[in-house]
Each structure stands twice: as structure tokens, then as C-alpha cells.
Structure 1
């Protein structure tokens, strides 16, 4: 019996890796991290967040494919929040998975950066 191929997003989570795709929707930069965000991988997310060049950056981080996040991810998001709000912009989190939402709530980051249940709501004005 042949095994079914494992989708890339599942493979990224299993190996502890992280990839970050970036899209733009209506002038809003959307980051799509896939995998685990920890001290080994948060540099990829930080790099994507540091590439914001708009005068008033608007950013959504779609966390629907993030399987794990530790304090490194929290620190990266806080730094991005400070950078974006200093530039008179905003940052939102979309569709955090249950383990990620638990971490966001535990450290009360969801009180600093607004979390939305899905990407469409996070992109709404």
C-alpha cells in the first residue's frame, strides 16, 4: 500500500522548519508562515517583517499553518508591532492555530496585537 504524499505545510511542521510566503492584498502585506516559530527559525519571520517599506505599513500575519511558537516568536511579533505602530501602521494576526492562540493568550499578546479567526476578517477595514 502506497503512502500518500505529505503536503509541504505538514512536512514543515514535522521537521521543525519554517517558511514564510508573502502576498499583498489591497495594499496590505500578508505573511504566511508555515511550520514552527522558535529560536532556530524566527529569523525568517523577522526578515519578512523587516522588509516592510510602506510609509504606513499594514500587515497581517496568517498563522493558520504555524504548528508551534515559543517566546522567540512572541518577541519577533512584539518588535514588529513596535516598528509598525511607530510608522503609524498596524499589524494583525489571522487564524492562529489552537497551540499558537494558547501562547498568544498566555502572554496576553492578543491584547496588544488584535487576533482574528480568519484571514478575511483580518483583511477587512
Structure 2
């Protein structure tokens, strides 16, 4: 993980698992790093719009980051998919609870539970 001054960077790793996109976030998602995540999310395969955001090592999230996640959720839904959160640290999850976003971006403790939910959303849309 690289650091620039006092700003900790965001590392983003993405892969496809059985038609589901997994996006792992490590570091801080803020106004400095939001564009990087937006670029990754915008380039996910159109046939893998069931998106699980693995956030166990995401230390910070601001309103710029929330905006990127809301945009990604809307895009996934438009393309027949869904988006959920996985292994979110309590201090980050608190932001989703306060804003009410956890109602539209559910949080799961592990990828297998997230996959079950994403698959059910996909089946219901068929």
C-alpha cells in the first residue's frame, strides 16, 4: 500500500467468479481515490453485474466514495444485476446505516452469503 503525504491510497482488485464480479477495496475511499474505483466499476463485464464489494480492509469512506457506490448500484440494477457489501468494518458500515443505504446495498459477513443473495436477486429478475 502506498501513501502520499497524509493520504492513504486505495487499492482495488476485481475478478469474476461464476458470473459475479468481486471488487476488493483496500485503504481509503475518498475524493482522491473515488475516480479510480469508478473506473474499475464502469469496466466490469456487462454479463457480470452481480457485484460484491469486499470491504474488510477498507479503512475510510467519505461522501465521494458513497456517490461512486450509489452510481455502481444503479448501473448494476439497470443491467439486471445487484450490488452488495461484504465484510464491512463497523466504522464504515455505520455510514451505510446512518444514510439508510444498507437497505439498498445489503451487507453480508462473507462472500458465500453475498453470492447466495446475488444469485437469488438474479433468479428473481429472470
Considering the TM-score relative to the shorter chain, is it more than 0.5?
yes
For 1:1-125, what aligned pairs fall within 5 Å after superposition?
8=1, 15-55=7-47, 57-124=49-116, 125=119
Unpaired runs of 5+ in structure 2? 120-126
CA contact (8 A) 2:19 2:47 kept: no
Task: Show structure 1 runs of 4+ deviating over 6 A.
Answer: none
Measured after TM superposition, the shift of residue 53 of structure 1 is: 2.6
Aligned-residue Cα RMSD (Å) equals 1.7
TM normalised by structure 2 equals 0.83
Aligned equivalents of 2:91, 2:34: Cα separation in 1: 17
CA contact (8 A) 1:81 1:90 kept: yes
Measured after TM superposition, the shift of residue 120 of structure 1 is: 2.0
TM normalised by structure 1 equals 0.84
CA contact (8 A) 1:66 1:97 kept: yes
Q: Is the radius of gyration larger for structure 1 or structure 2?
A: 1
Measured after TM superposition, the shift of residue 72 of structure 1 is: 0.8
Q: Which has the higher strand share?
A: 2
- Give the SS at the match of 1:31: strand
CA contact (8 A) 1:64 1:94 kept: yes
